[in-house]
Amino acid sequence: MDGALISSQQAGIYKVKQLEKADVTSGAEIGINGHRLSGGVPVAKPRAGRGKLKAAGLIGLGAVLGVSLSLHFSAVAERQSTMFNLPIDEVRMLSEVFARVKAGYVEEVDDKRLIQEAINGMLSGLDPHSAFLDADAFRDMQTATSGKFGGLGIEVGSEDGFVKVISPIDDTPAFKAGIKSGDFILKVNNSNLRGISLTEAVKRMRGEVGTEAVLTILRRGEAKELVFNVKRAVIEIQSVRARQLEPGIAYIRVTQFEQSTAEKLVRAINDSYKQNNGQVRGMVLDLRNDPGGVLEASVAVSAAFLPKDALVVYTEGRLPDAKMRLSARKEDYQRRSGKEDVLAKLNPAVKSVPLVVLVNNGTASASEIVAGALQDHKRALVMGIQTFGKGSVQTILPINDTTAIKLTTARYFTPNGRSIQAKGIVPDKQVDDGTQRLVMREADLDRHLSSDEERKAIEAIKTAPPDDNKTLIALKKEDEKPVDYKPAKGLDGLPIDFVLQQAVNYLNGQAVAANPREWLAMTTANGGKPAASVAVVKSDSVAPKSATSR
């Protein structure tokens, strides 16, 4: 989101707020804490002994700060302008720092760069998802939510000054090259990314379509850095895919929530019923490594499986328009469109078909809304591992025609009132194939918003009896040897991965294994190999073929 695309940093959940030109006033005279602004430029007399430096700082900063200090913030719900009272002492400090940097930095610095970096710092210091969107980033954000953009195809975040992969997007250059969730991107074409802003890191990863980006990756468990050659491409996100696993069992994968996801979902579901002569006895909704996207799309996907008017999600924030209750009805998932209900042609049988939702640590934001809603309404069994835990909403606030800010404006809650922030969705059935060697979640990101649930979980860990921890360590040592799972193939000839196979087993009323080792034990106990697949203990781990070590 705030946490998917290499061009827009993170998909997350987005709302776009359109601002009229009248929302920003720069020419009026406005009083701020007793000081007067004339023509949008702060006018202040330097105090005795301060000299000309401070006065120069105040006036030199005026061209930009004048606009900032005279902003009127428009709340969408009532469209009322409310002037912010800014702390004048801190504003003076900002102008002082600006003037000193301008006058004394070892190299001459452009005013625009200083102001932009100040804005970047103001927003990025709040949480991992708030950001300033310059002309390039704003344009990329708009194209990303439409489902087509140029880049590598990965969602990134930051941790301890490093750029960290949240998840690669299916069938993009990064996905095909072997980039994995949890990888740290150290360099792009020998350009070090350590310590720079996430926005700047994303810019360095951009480039002309067809050009190659050399990514230097640090991956847990690998003794050396890995180098991947990834060719940039125009990425058209196929946000919904379908396949036939076996007769009567349909598989729907949602890779990201964009504006046309609901339409694609309806086609995929209806096609599945046609391919099975109307007899679908079970369905798998795969949300693994889905980083999120457009809020309304997640409501529409939830509504496809829920009764009409069932609550899907609600949000809470400080502004009136940040408080919403979104349900399974057209008005909530097609708020910007007067067209026919996108779900009107959906096969009604899907409302009651047995459903399994697959999730993992790359399931974030909008996809967590879907999993949480279906789980709370007991409409589906959620299977996999704990999700990412991004329970916040980012609103895109245009500043002018070319720039905007992406600001965290609300937390969202599942129908039963659960906050997902920094905790995520806990599956009904834990199934882990062991491929996520380095698990990263919202709680691992710098400056993430904390939730009561997270604080309670941390406290529980601190107060846990020592014996519990020792038991966990002992169990991990016993399971050090990896297990190789040899998948069966679906009707389409493609392999069925371990977690997906367990979903099929559940729908068929068969035993479900929590991991490949347990599956191997079940196989041994039965005295033979299961028809669907084979699991064997591996002697060594195999290095990825798509990367070279150095």
Q: Are 337 and 360 in contact (CB under 8 A)?
A: no
Q: Is 38 a catalytic residue?
A: no
Catalytic residue from among 376, 432, 433, 444: 376
Cα 332 to Cα 298: distance, rounded to the nearest angstrom: 10
Say how many C-beta atoms besides its own lie within 10 A of residue 35's C-beta.
15
Cα 246 to Cα 271: distance, rounded to the nearest angstrom: 15
Q: Which of 191, 194, 235, 234 is nearest to 214 (CA)?
A: 191
Catalytic residue from among 102, 390, 406, 423: 390
Report helix angle 51-69 to 111-124, nearest 10. 60
Pairing of β 72-74 and β 81-83: antiparallel
Cα 529 to Cα 523: distance, rounded to the nearest angstrom: 6
Q: State the burial class of residue 253 (Cβ atoms within 10 Å of its Cβ: 0-12, 13-18, 19+).
A: buried
Cα 208 to Cα 221: distance, rounded to the nearest angstrom: 33
Q: Are 116 and 68 in contact (CB under 8 A)?
A: no
Q: Which of 349, 193, 186 is nearest to 283 (CA)?
A: 349
Q: Are 395 and 409 in contact (CB under 8 A)?
A: yes
Which position has the token pair 């708020």?
335
Cα 119 to Cα 125: distance, rounded to the nearest angstrom: 10
3-class DSSP assignment, residue 264: helix
Determine the residue type at 409. Answer: T
Q: Are 179 and 168 in contact (CB under 8 A)?
A: yes
Q: Is 351 a catalytic residue?
A: no
DSSP string, 22-81: GGB--SS-EEETTEEEETTEE--PPPTTSHHHHHHHHHHHHHHHHHHHTBEEEPTTT--E
Q: Is 479 a catalytic residue?
A: no
Catalytic residues, by residue number, are: 365, 376, 390
